[in-house]
Amino acid sequence: MSIYPWLTLVAIIWLQAVNGTNTTFPAYSSALKSRLGISQLNLNNLAVASDLGKVFGWCSGIALNHLPLWLVLIVGVAIGAFGYGVQFLFLTTKISTVEYWQAFLLCVISGKSICWINTVCYVAAMQKFPNNHGIVISLTTSYSGISAKVYIAMAEVILGKTNPNNKSIYLLQNSLVPLAVAIIVLPVLHDTKSVVGGEKKVGLSIMFFMAGLTGAYAILTTTAPEFITIKQRMPMAILLGMIMSTCLIPLLLKAQFNIMSKNKVTTIHEVTKRTVEEAREEGEMEERRGREYGVWDLVRSLDFWLYFGVYGCGGTLGLVYANNLGQIAQSRGMSEAELVSISSSFGFFGKLGSALLSALASRQKHVVSNTASLAMLMVPMAITFFLLLIPSKIFLLAGTAIIGMSTGAITSLAVSITSELFGFKHFAINHNLLVANIPIGSFLFGYIAARIYDSKGGEVHRVCNGSSCFHQTFLIWGFICAVGTVLSFVLYYRTRRSHKALDS
């Protein structure tokens, strides 16, 4: 048994845990807005700029054709370090002036770095776990859902409770933490061995258990503030320690394998049986791939545009809601970190849940299809936007949790749906075309929120207070999400036959 594929899995988890740098935007957006002296509409455009970086995600794919994996990773984290680093210097007045167009460009550059790191993680997972890469990608990307919670935890460990108004710490972390983690994991990305044999089931089960434990603890520290105040920094330090402790799992797997090898003599029959099982798994994966869609086939497919619309009215709308948490919290007189932590923690569980669904689907034939799961996730999300119309803190906290969980599940499930509906061969291009709707939706849905917010805010301070600031926005977003829900059921109806064919 080689330990390097499992170390690579740990490396991917660490990278994903710090790669959701854009999810911390609500935590410092109000401070950035004040420093630039801009309206909510212009602030929304900066959030769009961050998402706009995803449009250039294809550049990392081209780079991989000419550069090694580790070098592509270094380029990605270096881009982010520059983009966020300059913003940090501006917010701390180390740089006196940054024009609005320059801030916009910096946000585009920062957002682009996320795509480069994601590409490295996806390719590394496919190389090390060729027969289970879908499950591994879903598992590891779930950690990106907890990135905001990780950065908030690090800020609390560094600053404690004494200086909660220092928002520049998030930009400093966005700049330096991914770079530091990338340098640490670089050595394991050189190995080319993949996981073979039965140890992968045991290892992945342990990884899922650790992920669930981490997510449960994150939710506990978010929803039980009286627990957090027991030791100030200690609960947050424990959360970071739980993520870092995943590096011990490969060592445990190696030790277990060595003990079993000494106590068990493998017969030729067992080796043959294991080989047959591996071949059967590969054969089932080939059967599930179905038709391969190229770019031209994709844009002519009605199923793709239905899928595009569902993702835009679901996953993208949830991300826009998350981008506005800073102003939503401010208008209700709440802490930005509180809402962002809830959204991040429950988003993590949403992503992890879809990973478990993918794992179940790979082992059993008669399970709920991914498109059916997508439709079921859209229903509570649409209802929640209407519940947010009730001016209650409890409904706001619960609604943020539901939207965060649904968004996390949808964005993670989309990886499997794209390959399921349109094939593996052109997956990178096809999925990048899908997520291209994120900047489009971010602009359109964010524009709605920004225009309404500015119309209700003051002309001088450009700040709106009260539940009325987002009342109309939640109503409009609810109807948009309802439209996406209808489209999701249409998509399920059109694709259910292919799912039944795979089950038979």
Q: How confident is the model at residue 383 (pLDDT cuts 50, 70, 90)?
A: very high
CB neighbourhood size of 204 (10 A): 20
Q: Whose CA is closest to 42, among 499, 443, 493?
A: 443
Those residues whose C-beta lies under 8 Å from the C-beta of residue 114, and which sit 6 or more positions away, are 19, 20, 21, 22, 53, 54, 80
pLDDT of residue 326: 82
Dump pLDDT digits (tens) for 309-320: 999 999 899 999
Distance CA 76, CA 121 (A): 12
pLDDT of residue 354: 77
pLDDT of residue 400: 92
* b/e burial code for range 391-421 (CB count within 10 A of at least 16 → b): eeeeebbbbbbbbbbbbbbbbbbbbbbbbbb
As a whole number, the mean pLDDT across the chain is 80
Average pLDDT over residues 244-263: 76
Quick check: 387 pLDDT over 90? yes
Of residues 403 and 264, which shows the higher confidence score? 403
Q: How confident is the model at residue 360 (pLDDT cuts 50, 70, 90)?
A: low
Quick check: 195 pLDDT over 60? no
Distance CA 324, CA 450 (A): 9
pLDDT of residue 232: 55
Tell me the residue type at 13. Answer: I
Tell me the residue type at 396. Answer: L
Distance CA 21, CA 53 (A): 13
Average pLDDT over residues 345-370: 71
Distance CA 171, CA 452 (A): 28
Q: How confident is the model at residue 223 (pLDDT cuts 50, 70, 90)?
A: low
pLDDT of residue 345: 81
Average pLDDT over residues 249-263: 73
Dump pLDDT digits (tens) for 415-472: 778 877 877 666 667 777 787 788 888 888 988 988 888 887 655 456 788 888 889 9
Distance CA 201, CA 459 (A): 60
Q: How confident is the model at residue 346 (pLDDT cuts 50, 70, 90)?
A: confident
Distance CA 196, CA 274 (A): 10
Quick check: 1 pLDDT over 60? no
Q: Scanning the structure block, which residue is given the tokens 């936007």?
A: 385
Quick check: 348 pLDDT over 80? yes
Q: Whose CA is closest to 377, among 426, 328, 410?
A: 410
pLDDT of residue 365: 54
pLDDT of residue 504: 47
Quick check: 292 pLDDT over 80? no
